[in-house]
Structure 1
Amino acid sequence: MRAEKNTKKKKKWLRVTGIVFLLLVIGIGVYAYSVYNSLQSAVETMHHPVDRKSDKRTEEVSLQNKQPFSILLLGVDQRKGDKGRSDTMIVLSVNPKLNSVKMLSIPRDTRTEIVGKGTEDKINHAYAFGNEEMAMNTVENFLDIPIDYFVKVNMEGFKDIVDAVGGITVDNDLDFSQGGYHFPKGQVNLDGKKALAFTRMRHEDPRGDFGRQLRQREIIQGVLREGASLSSITKYQSIFAALGNNVRTNLTFDQMMDIQKNYRSAAGNVEQMAIKGSGTKINGIYYYIVPDQEKQRIQTELKTQLEMK
């Protein structure tokens, strides 16, 4: 029970980590040759190619031609000797023509077909069964859209990134305490540990998950502001080190540069999507069941965002 409780707390934190990574790539320009080299070195450390082809695309997406694309964000609690499970799964669909990023969080207990395993199970088990490839294939089948890239983030990564940019400032709209810290209304300065506590609180908020999502967005925007500021020039080495130590992705350095060049304006317009369903037990195991009508609604919205016919 304790392990499960800790995992639930951690997934609130992991929800935003991969998003910050992507938006930093989109939003931060290359300041100098030394920054360029440091970024290239960090990306080489992060790069992890996958051996798969999408059944939903006949040709690979072209970032140079500014085609819409999607990324699966995996928040993984990695321990020594255990690769962990993807307790957070988020799909980002990016459309540069609309200057828009749609962000869909998939509940980890969602019951669906695990592609390559031949069974129905919780969607987050796909990573445990078959790493990034099986997770991408399973989410692709569930949403009926191509999953072009993945970004996997270790749970400690976001805390390190917040500290690497020198801390952040958020606009807090609810007075509360969490994790030994008090967060008054108004402008609040956060380091990595405080940011973790700030995103964990849910039960004291009458808005529930919606309120938590607002705080997560404040964290993301705070990191973007600090990461893109002139003061962060002197911090770039620690920022890239934090990313390199905690992030793995099949995006190459050149692809990231194409994203930074061609999709930058989309970073300012992130829209959160929600999957509606209900919890139930099957053979004593809890699952989150998404009705077919709701699944169709989500699929249609994502296909429109990706300009799929």
Structure 2
Amino acid sequence: MTKSRATAIGFIAVLLWALLALFTVGSAPVPPFLLNALCFSIGGAIGLIWVWRTGGFGQLKAIPLRVYAFGTLGLFGYHFLYFSALRMAPAAEAGLIAYLWPLLIVLFSGLLPGESLRAGHVLGALIGFAGAALIVLRGGAAFEGSALPGYGLAFLCALTWSGYSVLSRRLGETPTASVAVFCLATAVLSAIAHLALETTVWPQDALGWGAVLALGLGPVGLAFYVWDIGVKQGDIQLLGVASYAAPLLSTLALVIFGIAAPSWLLLAAALLITGGAALAARASAKT
């Protein structure tokens, strides 16, 4: 597989994550960890069906337990820290700190063998982050001292996902089929977290169950498989910067379906994110 093709496949994850907010709204009032358990169960089942169809169960047995522990820590750790941060700090500000992960991916990728980090990658990531900040904060921020523990968890959340994405590159020989096990283990841990921390509330109607199914098939399913291909074989710096398109496309989806209103802020964010991605792409082309 060529590097450009792997990068394009990885970007499918960004497109799928753009639907996360839309489907999550449709799944209300299901609490986060229960939703996590349901969606990752679906995502893991998809992976097992794919492995079964391709005769890959043998390769799953050959994967070391430390790799499964690493993948589960990445997927479950990110979501556990993210939801915990939102419980302890204002959602917009905590969400913005958590969304430092694309920038951290770009910076950490410079430590990988064979990778070259250029100024254009860093500048593009910073510009993209500015665009994402406009969307997440809606033009204003009010960081509260009492919410510092939540902000700390949000930063750990960003470190977890960026670390998982970059270190996955070092596991390039590990088949993407392993993500199925990551998803199922995350579903089990999410169910335990739900029983310990939440009150059970199931989807209210067919629309709610449809939204859960859509989440499990796409943003919390297929997305992790294509992301695995992208970060292992594609241009990881470009993928990191391009990930800032997710909050932009997510807001656009909410606008299209009448859940959010269009604004000049959205246009400014689009220009910043597009400009940042263009700078990173140019730096990758020079490399």
Normalising to structure 1: TM-score of the pair?
0.28
Structure with greater helix share of residues: 2
User: Counting strand residues as a fraction of each chain, which structure ranks higher?
Assistant: 1
Structure showing greater relative contact order (alpha-carbon pairs closer than 8 Å, 6 or more residues apart): 2
